[in-house]
Chain A
């Protein structure tokens, strides 16, 4: 207990949520990795459990380290980070390893696992936006002085992520917009930016009909949206070669629903939801459906959703208390990025949104994502730690 009191500072609720989500991750990965384990390790599910355990431990370790750092440090680091991330994104786009036609991964020499560059770019960009917003508060309504310095890096980073990963680029863009909105940017400017971005994207799509290499995943996006909207019936999709991925996604949604329906109020119990063998990506994109299937509506669905909602609430509490604009924007922006991703993942699993491939932060299997989630939570905690310290010293002063 003393260790926790002495070293684990900051918002205690956030710590608890991080631990709870990690436990869900372990449970879900253990039972849903059936497919992967079946395929790569001759049915040895423990292999994935242990691997996952270490990944989560590393994520939490990173969270611990980050929360001990004074949060203002991240402001400076974000400038350097951005200077690293942008060239890295370029490199990844040109020579990254290709997973399912999307070059999102960069193989790091000496490290066996590949590294999703956009995860780094995301966190760096959000901190940078928070920093700039805070600095420019006085002139924020001014287009040239306030808005433009914010927008340029945002467009640059999102634009570089876009060709390989539309959903991540769009989410990050939305995330930045929300942060700008909170940061008191002019609504006129924001809507102007949205309009420009949409028409720019349209133009890009038109161009890509002429130069198909520009957007290698355009066919997938099209097919995904069409499948979601029910534009094509199944048989028509079968015929089209490029749409096989979409067909499997249609199938994923179907099995996702079956898995959830089988769960009922209390779930089938761990490793009992047999549809997991047929639910593709049940260890990643559809892990939420998996959790509901095995742990039920209440323990699986409500609790997980609540965990993310409470997380968001805690970030708002931090923002409320904070005296400094940077702390407010930092905590809120980062936390919202996690919650937004979680909501999108859940919406996909329950078929509110078309398939996007966004993992459930901290829960889905995936190394880079877990580490960066840990880092993000760590930074939020660092802000909260500073606030609590200020509180304590304030109370101490008033006592005298």
Chain B
């Protein structure tokens, strides 16, 4: 029991201590709440804290080759706290003149005197947020930071840099409308910027900040910060080289014909990738700008390019064959009081010829003969158009797709007028993008793929989402029909309305279109004059289609209005450029040369040994005499490449002839030379002969040639 007692008194001491500490806590709370209470409460009430939005950096829009099509760059609004805490009058008076001079000299928008008076006024008015200049680049800011007074820092110098982001399109006008604009409070966004905004915009962060004496804000605690998440990059299918050609050529042709607007779409046959999309509209100043996406936003009567759909329907239903003959009479036909003319009198021609020569009469006659019996048979024709998905939007995801119109026979506005009009491309409203998608389906052997503008979403360099090509229709018609349509389109270029597009190296296949423009009910004609829409849609190379392209030029006003004359050359310029620069298309053409290279040892420059060995290995050229020096000389033998050592010493000018410019410059600069390059290619001559003692020499000129 003694032990128990011993334990118990120790326990009571412990409990006493616990109670004392408990009371101490109570006392301290009492003190904080009631004795110092007012102080803490006032502090709490005056607590100047605020959460600030932290903006993420918007993702970039990249071209197919991952070059930048739209990026966010930081720009700054420069301001000045003219009453900065440690900016005294002495410093001010001492530096105000030189600061004004530097600002005027850098920005060149105001005189030294103007800058000085702005600054003086600001200080007089105790302006703590005086605007100096808006939208200053980073490089300029870095210079401004070195200016007198400003170089003393925020507190002594008063310079305030407000960073913000500006969206820049490095390719300027190229595909500008398709790349689009992000939306803001006032304006709805456009194009890819709007369509893929959810990926591009990133997530805003939040930061709790506390105001310090002097008006500066300090982040409070990492618990109260949500870091912003930067936006993802969007990789488009646009190929800047093709886009450049498309825009330039369209611009040239539009200017030449004084047209009001036009568009070009280049689509890859197999994937539906949009390699180029140009939209130009004449501005009041007479120049052309991307100001409306006609390619997807304007549904109009397509005119003769639509005959492809009519021909497809007629042949797929087995009504006609290319060789069938049809009489076009006197080159005109009248239905329901409306007369349609062909541009020439063709007499009796084959269906193939009717397509090649674009006979309106023949197409109207065929349509009426095979689908004109009653509504039921007419509906069969309409069903073909529906199978081509011409009656519905493509839903590419880009905003602003125009709603197309293809009437059903049950439509209240369907009339006897409808079928013959539709047969040659009227009384339907279709966008250029839909037409090119239809032609692409034929080029792609009947498989219709959806136009694809965006390939991937990337987080920095990591692909996080891929948009696969989408097949709209596995087969829009029978394979035999595809073949016949291809022959017809080839014929258009070989014998028909677009012989000016006939090529020597590769062939284009397609169809011209020349539609009369109906201006919203004001009839056919603008200011009393007839206006037209010239178009050409087709694919190339005809024997192995790789690209489909459509060119539409609106209201050519200088007399030439036929599709082949106005739209054709743009098409040809684009296709030539693509053809010339794409290896896989060219392979067939250059196959003899390629074969020759494979059996022969190719010529090689001298240069960096590792590079040369790598290249030779890649090209399956055997190399012998494996050089151990950093640089080497090459000598062609019949079946192999001999590699020879080159050694340099520091006192003599080296032999750089036969090397590429990069290697030569590297070697010479290592030796302390300043190198002047003339020409292009590999080094043919050097101004100081090899072996000359270097001594005081310091400049060498290299003559380069291919």
> Which A residues lie at the B interface, using CB under 8 A?
35-36, 38-39, 137, 178, 181-184, 248, 251, 254, 257-265, 275, 277-278, 280-281, 292, 297, 301-302, 305, 308-309, 312-313, 316, 319-320, 325, 328, 332, 336, 339, 343, 346-347, 350-352
Q: Are A258 and B43 neighbours in the complex by a CB distance under 8 Å?
A: yes
8 Å CB contact of A351 from B18, B22, B28, B43: B28
> Which B residues lie at the A interface, using CB under 8 A?
3, 6-8, 10-12, 14-15, 18-19, 21-22, 24-26, 28-30, 32-33, 36-37, 39-41, 43-44, 47, 49, 208, 210, 220-221, 223-224, 226
Q: Are B26 and A309 neighbours in the complex by a CB distance under 8 Å?
A: no
> Whole-angstrom distance between the alpha carbons of A313 and B226 in the complex?
45
> Whole-angstrom distance between the alpha carbons of A263 and B221 in the complex?
23
Q: Are A297 and B33 neighbours in the complex by a CB distance under 8 Å?
A: yes
Q: Are B26 and A305 neighbours in the complex by a CB distance under 8 Å?
A: yes
Q: Are B224 and A343 neighbours in the complex by a CB distance under 8 Å?
A: no
Chain B residues with Cβ below 8 Å from A312 are 15, 18
Given known contacts A262-B44, A336-B14, is B22 in contact with A182 (CB within 8 Å)? no
8 Å CB contact of B40 from A182, A261, A336: A261
Chain B residues with Cβ below 8 Å from A351 are 28, 32
Q: Are B10 and A182 neighbours in the complex by a CB distance under 8 Å?
A: yes
Chain B residues with Cβ below 8 Å from A251 are 220-221
Chain A residues with Cβ below 8 Å from B41 are 258, 261-262
Across chains A and B, the number of contacting residue pairs, with CB separation under 8 Å, is 120
> Whole-angstrom distance between the alpha carbons of A351 and B30 in the complex?
13
> Nearest Cβ distance between residue B9 and chain A, in whole angstroms?
10
> Whole-angstrom distance between the alpha carbons of A36 and B30 in the complex?
29
Chain B residues with Cβ below 8 Å from A258 are 40-41, 43-44, 47
> Nearest Cβ distance between residue B255 and chain A, in whole angstroms?
54
> Whole-angstrom distance between the alpha carbons of A64 and B221 in the complex?
40
Given known contacts A262-B41, A264-B33, A309-B19, is B14 in contact with A182 (CB within 8 Å)? yes
Q: Are B220 and A261 neighbours in the complex by a CB distance under 8 Å?
A: no
Q: Are B14 and A301 neighbours in the complex by a CB distance under 8 Å?
A: no
> Whole-angstrom distance between the alpha carbons of A347 and B29 in the complex?
10
Q: Are B21 and A350 neighbours in the complex by a CB distance under 8 Å?
A: no
> Nearest Cβ distance between residue B509 and chain A, in whole angstroms?
56
Main secondary structure of the interface of B (DSSP, over half): helix
27 contacts between A and B (CB under 8 A): A35-B223, A39-B223, A39-B224, A178-B14, A182-B7, A182-B14, A184-B3, A184-B7, A251-B221, A257-B32, A257-B36, A258-B40, A258-B41, A258-B47, A259-B44, A261-B37, A261-B40, A261-B41, A262-B40, A263-B33, A277-B208, A301-B29, A319-B7, A319-B11, A339-B18, A350-B29, A351-B28
> Whole-angstrom distance between the alpha carbons of A351 and B12 in the complex?
27
> Whole-angstrom distance between the alpha carbons of A301 and B29 in the complex?
8
Chain A residues with Cβ below 8 Å from B19 are 309
Q: Are B36 and A343 neighbours in the complex by a CB distance under 8 Å?
A: no
Chain B residues with Cβ below 8 Å from A313 are 15
Q: Are A302 and B26 neighbours in the complex by a CB distance under 8 Å?
A: yes
> Whole-angstrom distance between the alpha carbons of A277 and B41 in the complex?
16
Q: Other CB < 8 Å A-B pairs besides A184-B3, A257-B32, 8 of them? A: A182-B10, A182-B11, A261-B33, A275-B44, A313-B15, A343-B22, A351-B28, A351-B32
8 Å CB contact of A39 from B3, B39, B49, B226: B226
> Whole-angstrom distance between the alpha carbons of A320 and B22 in the complex?
22
> Whole-angstrom distance between the alpha carbons of A39 and B222 in the complex?
11
Q: Are A343 and B21 neighbours in the complex by a CB distance under 8 Å?
A: yes
Chain A residues with Cβ below 8 Å from B18 are 309, 312, 336, 339, 343
Chain B residues with Cβ below 8 Å from A325 are 3, 7
Chain A residues with Cβ below 8 Å from B21 are 343, 347
Given known contacts A278-B224, A297-B30, is B14 in contact with A350 (CB within 8 Å)? no
> Whole-angstrom distance between the alpha carbons of A339 and B26 in the complex?
15
> Nearest Cβ distance between residue B7 and chain A, in whole angstroms?
6
Q: Which residue of B lies closest to A320 (CB)?
A: B8
Chain A residues with Cβ below 8 Å from B43 are 254, 258
| Among B19, B22, B30: residue with most chain A CB under 10 A | B22
